[in-house]
Each structure stands twice: as C-alpha cells, then as structure tokens.
Structure 1
Amino acid sequence: MEVIFMNRLARFTDQNEELAQVWIGEEEGAWHLGWSLYEEGDREDTVWYEGSSWEELMHIYRHQLALQMSEGFRPLLQGLFHEIEDLRSRNYGGQRLQCYSELYANETLYTDLCTWRRKKAASDRKAPYFIATNRLLRMISSYVPLTMDELMQLPGVGESKATEYGQAWLELTNGVERSTVFPLDWVYSALKEEEYENWLYRQKEQKYKQELDKFKTRKQVLEGMKEGHTLEEIVNRSGLSRRELIELLEILDLEGYDTDCLLDAELAIMPEQEQEAVWNAYEELGDAFLKPVLHKVYGEEKPGGGSLEQVYEKLRMIRIRYRRHIETEQNVS
C-alpha cells in the first residue's frame, strides 16, 4: 500500500505522552484510511475506511479526526481543521461563554428550565426551540442571572426574549446559589485553553457526524434507486420518512440523477387523466405551493382513494417531473 498522507498527533495526560498518527493510503484502486496508536512501544491500528469513494473517505476522516482531537490529541503539523482561524474567530467571546456554560451548568436548574420550556411550548403551541434554545438555557443555568440587566448580558437574550420570558426565567433563578458574578469577563481567564479547544473539536465532531450521516443516507437512497427498490423499500433501508425521501428525490433530480424508474413505479396506479389534470394545474398556478394545485384538481373536499398525505406525495412526484420539464425548455430556448 502506498501512503499518500500522514500526520502525527500527541496527547499529554498525567505527565504521560500518547502518540498516534492518521494516515491515508491507496492500493489497487482502493482507498484506505486509518488510525495508529502507539503505547509503551506497541502499535494498535484501527481501519476507519476501506473502499473506492474518496468523498466518503473524507467525511469519515473529518468526523473521526475531530473525535480524537476532542479527546485531547493535537497534530504535530497544524492546519487540519483551520485551528488558528477557529480560535481567533469573530465570535470568540460568545463561544467561550457557551463553552463554559456547557461544562459548568447547574443541572438541577437546567432541568427546571427545560420543564418550564416544555410546558410553555405546549400552552403557546410553539416548538420549544422557538421559545429558547438548549444553548440559552445552559447559559442561564450556569451563570444564574438574578436581574433583568444580568439576563440581557447573555448572548441570545434580546429585548423581545427578555420582555416575553425574562420574568419567568428570573423566578426560576431566584434563590439559586451562584459562585460567579456579572459581568462575565472572568470567563476568558477562568476557562482553561485545553478545555476550550477540546470543546471546539466536540462541536466539529457533532457537525461532521451529521454530515457523515447525511452522506450515508444519500448513498443508500441512490443505491436503492439503482437496484430498482420501491419507495417503501428505500424508506425502510434509509430510515427517512416518505416525505423526507420525496424531498430528497427533488434535490437529486435537480442534480441530474435519474429518478424516472422510481417515479414511474409509484405513479403507475394513478390514472393518466388525473396526472394530466395535476400537470395542467401546475402550468396554470405555478409549482411553488401544493395546496392551490390540490384544490384545483380535487376541489375543496378531501380527495378519495387514499389519505391526504398520499395525495400530496403524488403531487410532489409529478412536480419533480414538471420542474425538470420547465428547466429543459429553458435550457433549449
């Protein structure tokens, strides 16, 4: 195997040094990605990826390397994740406050705040994150503001949030003992640099994990389409809901992937006259919104022959073809 990339990393714990290296190699058209850990003269190799997809390899590389760096490993050659740019980013202050709050939150107060948010979301019929993010509740639980002025020093609390929810938050923090003070300038010296860097890499690890999961799901869908699976089979294989899958099909079709076989199979049970009526409705009303098309084709009453969601599925599938048709005509003209 020919090694085309390698970087050494080190971690210091209790005055001991652990050494490791990440490497990428190529052999007979296949890519290999791995991690080698050196301990007391022994070497333990872990293969992270073997296959033909460079794109998949890079997704796994970013995720796994961020995971190792969040656990204290640092590269001997800097630049793997633009470390300097991260540490000097314009949101440096806000990131430090967020980091400290996640490491040193009052878990009892945080639980009380989450319980309040859940009840408030239910009574106001809002999504919980519209009321307050986990990040904001962590900050409140860590810094324990006792006045409206202190509350508004926290990133994410503006006039609107403070007016609508501030008093309720202060009622929960009232009486809670705190060991810190406002303003929060002390955080920048109290937070250890290694703690902050490890936290930064945990954020990257979570980001890259989401990107990797998204890539794998997309790969499963493309493979399912190539193998001639039905919509339901791809749903079971990918873990997506039917609506999520159809929305992904819209994106894939725009990117030039062939979705016709899957669309043909799913629309086969829909009468041609009905499909034509939907197509004509798109030509008359446009394709931005589905509800006007639904009413144009089926009237104000709920269509028969299946659930409303199933009807919307068919509308979305025909819209995929309609949009492709419009794009083709524009390119020709």
Structure 2
Amino acid sequence: MQIVFMNRLSKQSGDSAGEFAQLWIGEEEGNWRLGWREFGENQESADSLWYEGTSWNEMLGVYRHELAVKMGEGYRPLIDGVFHEEESLAGRNQEQLKLQYYSEQHANESVYEELCAWRRRKAASERKAPYLLASNRLLRLLGTFLPKTEEELLQIPGVGETKAAQYGLEILAITSAAERSHSFPLSWVSAEIDEESFTSWLYKQKEIKYKKQLERLRLRRVLLEGIADGCGMEELKERSASSRREILEAVEELEKDGYIVDSLIDRELASMSGAEQEAVWNAYQELGDTLLKPVLHKVYGEEITSAGSLDLYYERLRLIRLRFRRENEGTPGLAPHPQEQA
C-alpha cells in the first residue's frame, strides 16, 4: 500500500507533554484506506481503521467527520491544512460564531422558552412553518443578549430590517422585559470567551456538518445499488433505514446529478393509470413545476385536502415531475410523454 497523505497531531493533556497521533491515507489498486494511530506515554500505538473501500468521496467524507471529532477532543495538527479546501476558521463570520457560541454557553432558558412559545403561536396564526419566522439559533441569541431597542435588535445576527419590521415589536416585548447585566454593542463578547474552548466548539460544529454530509453520501450509494437491483421505495426504505421522504429527496438529487432513476419511477407509477399521469403532466405544463399543491388541486380537486393522508399523491407528483423537468431541459434519453406510454 502506498501512503499518499500523512499528518501528525498533538493533544495537550494537563501538565504532561501531551499525546500524539498520526492520520494517514493509503491507496492500493484503487482501494482506499484511511486510518488513525495514537501514541501513548509508553510509546505503544493504538490503530483505528476509519475507512476501507473504493469511493474517494465517501473516504473524504469519513476523513472530514472523524478528524473533526478528534479536533473537537483537543488534537491539533503539527502541519496546518488538514481540512484542505475547507473554509478557514478565521473567516469573516468569526464574530457571529463567537456570539452563537456565547449564547449556547450562557443561555437564558426562561426567555428562550417564552420566545419559542411566541414563535409557535405566530406560525400557527400565519400558517407558516416555525423555522421561517426564526431559527432555534436566532431565538437563543435573542434570549441571551436581550435587545431592548430596534437598534440593538438589528445587531443580532439573523435579524434584518424586514424581520425587525414584521416581528420586532413582539420580540422586543419579550426580550426587553428581562433583566440584563451587559451592554450593546456586543464587541465585549470576544474577550469573555476562552479561545481553546471556542476552537473545540467550532470543530464540533464541523463534526455535525460532516456527519450529515457523510450520511447523504452513504444514502446515495445505497440508493444507487438498490435502484440497480430493481428495488422500489419500500425496499429502499428497508435497505437504507430512511424515510420515504428522505429517499425521494435523495432520488431528486441523483436525477439532478445526471443519474438514471427510470426503473424506480416505472415501478412506483405502475399502479397509476396513464390517464392520471397524463392529467398530472398537463397540469405541470399549465401551472409550472415549482409548487406541488396547485398541481394536486388541478388534478384531484381542492376537496382532496380533506381526504386524509396525501403522502402517496405528493410522492407520485414528485416522481412525474422528475421526468417532466428532464424532458423540458432537453436532456438526452428523455422519458416519453405519458400518453405515448399508454
């Protein structure tokens, strides 16, 4: 096996000289191996094989995720650049990240819960998803820094002029009622943060990010293998331990990336009449393919919304939309119009 990359990392351990580890990547006849070796005080080494396989992308995903875990535990590279093309930790959003970190360490839970309750009520009244009004991260920032004026509110990352105009008065009614011991602007936050703890937290955020990316990569691999084997949605669900919705979203990404998923579409639409598929296709031509609800109502009538679960209807609409978009983009190997299949 040829070693193509190696780096040495150290970890300070109290007053001791610290611990050391090696991170390595090897390749042999197209097979990739990724490993980690720790050296203890007695110089004995402990090896961990993180990945072995033929997928460079999956190996890279494992590399980033596992390395972020180790960096979060306190390991630091002797040679910088272990994340290669990833963004620098000293980027332009450093100040915002420190505000986020501080808000997680000094959360005012009672104000945060009050803001969450406000968001639920507001989302219900406006018939919107709660996250469209404000993310959990934003509510925690608001609950920690407690702005009392619109000027202070606009200093919170994630609050722009539009959001302040729409919800500012209601938010301030909650945050300004709580006592606070700090001031605005929030430039004092940086001096209150332990840099080493903050850096470990940053790598924890990377760990979460890379874990999600790795899960998507592995799901794609399982789906491609399953589709090649002639599996349907339910079989893919069992193989991947994912929901049908997650599988469908991944299938849409595969189609966008140029993979052929026609065998899955054929299998799932086999019980759907040609006339019904024709009606859906014509609705997309008339209404466009951005929103599914108008197409649903066009084909099945508005009374369909009171007919119970609509998951199967929406699933079929999305599968037909894959072919509709492909044909309208002029991609080679177009699926035939439903009428031509009848």
Instruction: Report the TM-score when normalising by structure 2.
Output: 0.81
Moved more, 244-253 or 96-105: 244-253
Cα distance in 1 for partners of 2:204, 2:316 equals: 41
Q: What is the match of residue 36 of structure 1?
A: 37
Alpha-carbon offset, residue 216 of structure 1: 1.5
Q: Matched residue of 1:34: which SS?
A: strand
Equivalent in 39, 45, 48 of residue 46 of structure 1: 48
Contact 2:220 2:254 in 1 (8 A): no
Does residue 32 of structure 2 align to residue 21 of structure 1? Answer: no
In the alignment, the residues of structure 1 paired with residue 163 and residue 317 of structure 2 have an alpha-carbon distance, to the nearest angstrom, of: 39
- Residue identity opposite 2:221 in structure 1: K
Shift of 1:57: 0.5
Equivalent residue pairs, number = 331
Query: Which deviations, in whole Å up to 9, do the C-alpha atoms of 1:84-126 show, x marking residues without a partner?
Result: 9634422232222222222222334333333333343334433
The whole-number CA distance in structure 2 between the counterparts of 1:306 and 1:182 is 51
Distance apart, 1:295 and its partner CA = 6.0
Name the CA shift for 1:151/1:321 in 2 (closer, same or farther; >3 Å).
closer
Q: 2:72 aligns to what?
A: 70
Gaps of 5+ in 1: none
User: 1:176 Cα deviation (Å)?
Assistant: 4.3
SS at match of 2:206: helix
1:225, distance to aligned residue in structure 2 (A): 0.8
* TM-score (norm. length: structure 1): 0.83
Two-structure CA RMSD over aligned residues (Å): 3.4
- Residue 326 of structure 2 is matched in structure 1 by 324
Residues 159-204 of structure 1: CA deviation (Å, up to 9, x unaligned): 4444444444444445645443322222222222223322222222
Separation in structure 2 between the aligned mates of residue 290 and residue 175 of structure 1, nearest angstrom: 43
Partners in 1 of 2:232 and 2:51 — Cα distance?
A: 29
2:187 is matched with 185
Query: SS at the partner of 1:207?
Result: helix
Query: What is the one-letter code of the residue matched to 1:4?
Result: V
Distance verdict in 2 for CA 1:174–1:311, change over 3 Å: closer
Q: CA deviation at 1:133?
A: 2.0
Give the letter aligned to residue 24 of structure 2: W
Give yes or no for contact 2:103–2:144 (8 Å, CA) kept in 1.
yes
- The offset of 1:224, in angstroms, is 1.3
Runs of at least 5 residues in structure 2 that lack an aligned partner in the other structure: 335-342
Equivalent AA in structure 1 for residue 63 of structure 2:
Y
Give how far 1:210 is off: 1.4
Aligned to 1:271: 273
Q: CA deviation at 1:8?
A: 0.8
Task: Give the Cα separation in 2 of the matches to 1:49 and 1:327.
Answer: 38
